Amino acid sequence: MKYLHLFSNKNKFDYNSDSNKKNIEAIGNNYSYKCFFISNGKLAVISKELFFLTCNKDDIKKLNINQKNQYILGKEKNTIIAGFSVSEGKLKKILFNKSFTLTDIRECFNLAKKTIIPYISSLYSLTKWHKNNVFCALCGSKNISSDLGHSLKCSSISCRNKIFPRIDPTVIMLIRNEDKILLARNAIWKKKLYSCLAGFSEPNESLEETVERETYEEVGLNIHNINYKFSQFWPISNNLMIGFEATSNSLDLKINRLEIEDAIWVTKKQLLKLSKDKEIILPKKYAIAFCLIENWLRK
């Protein structure tokens, strides 16, 4: 379970107490800064495994980055964790004397130290949310960054609608039948990858009802004994993944090929052998699906 809360940020900055501060360098003189950079959805990895620059207040000013592209990601003692969204050209100027690569977020999870993964995942999800909400949904005016990147406010004086990052509740469930669990795969996944069933919660539906509906829709099983296990924020798609275990009295699968490509029942012995022989690939250790499976294997 040590990776379950890999993306949880426990060192958040209280931007509400500094609501009069409009940009990062205005926060104060008593802080140093760790600066992360993202460009077109990819994180800058500097000199192999280093993800940030250590800066002071004057260095931040010299970066000359627009307020709308600045994000406060956290605070560690007297250090502010800051993120900046910039073009690749701008990034080359900032890191002119350093070698860097723009790296996919999933690969960053494999490269970065666990202590900084909450910050790079926060930067990734916040910048993605900003990109998808350029205009006000009520009046069509442009949105402007607020609360040091953690909210957006309509620029129209007559509207001033304010929004916050959306998080989609998503259930993920380990279905059991006596000594077996159910694993499934989507056609678009990497070859041989199997995971737990999952799905988005719909309006007017409890989480337990989502577990029931998604299981029946995807594999035709009626389930019972639905029990909550644990949850995880998933930055790739801004989901709150809520993990459950449930029981089925039947092994008879009716696979909905429009939803999934395949589903299989496995015992612990079968799963360990299939995984060892690389006949199937399990989810990454930082995924809640792996935690659900690992928790079952340990029993």
Tell me, what's the pLDDT at 281?
Answer: 96
Tell me, yes or no, whether 89 and 192 share the same domain.
no
Instruction: For residue range 210-268, list pLDDT tens digits in order.
Output: 999 999 999 999 999 999 999 999 999 899 999 999 999 999 999 999 999 999 999 99
CATH of the domain at 288: 3.90.79.10
Residues 85, 173 within the same domain: no
The residue among 74, 93, 125 that closes a domain is 125
Q: Is residue 279 part of a domain?
A: yes
- Listed in sequence order, the residues at least 6 apart from 57 whose beta carbon sits closer than 8 Å to its beta carbon are 25, 29, 31, 33
Structural domain boundaries, residue 220: 168-298
Burial 12-28, CB ≥16 within 10 A → b, else e: ebebeeeeeeebbbebe
Alpha carbon distance 122, 283 (integer Å): 22
Domain boundary residue among 90, 125, 160?
125
Residues 175 and 98 in one domain: no
Residues 92 and 198 in one domain: no
Claim to verify: residue 286 and residue 173 sit in the same structural domain: yes
Res. 30: pLDDT tops 90 = no
Same domain for 197 and 108: no
Domain count, the chain: 2
Return the DSSP state at 292: H
For residue 119, tell me if it sits in a domain.
yes
Q: Please report, rounded to a whole number, the percentage of residues in the chain having pLDDT higher than 90.
A: 78
**Looking at the domain assignment, is residue 149 inside a domain?**
no
158 within domain boundaries:
no
126-173 per-position pLDDT tens digit: 999 999 999 999 999 999 999 889 999 999 999 999 999 989 999 999
Quick check: 292 and 196 in contact, CB under 8 A?
yes
pLDDT of 299 strictly over 90: no
Choosing from 99, 125, 151, the residue where a domain stops is 125
CATH of the domain at 91: 3.90.79
Predicted confidence at residue 19, as pLDDT, reads: 46
Domain contains 237: yes
CA angle, residues 24, 30, 32, in degrees to nearest 5: 60
Instruction: Give the span between the Cα atoms of 33 and 24, in whole angstroms.
Output: 10
Q: pTM of the full predicted structure?
A: 0.90
Is 198 contained in some domain?
yes
Query: Is position 78 within any domain?
Result: yes
Radius of gyration for the chain, computed over Cα atoms and rounded to the nearest angstrom: 22
What is the spatial distance between Cα 177 and Cα 288, in angstroms, rounded to a whole number? 20
pLDDT of residue 67: 87
φ/ψ region of 28 (left if φ > 0, alpha if ψ in -120 to 50, else beta) reads: left
Do 211 and 279 lie in one domain? The reply is: yes
* pLDDT computed for residue 23 by the predictor: 67
User: Quick check: 101 pLDDT over 90?
Assistant: yes
Does any domain span residue 4?
Answer: no
Distance CA 150, CA 25 (A): 16
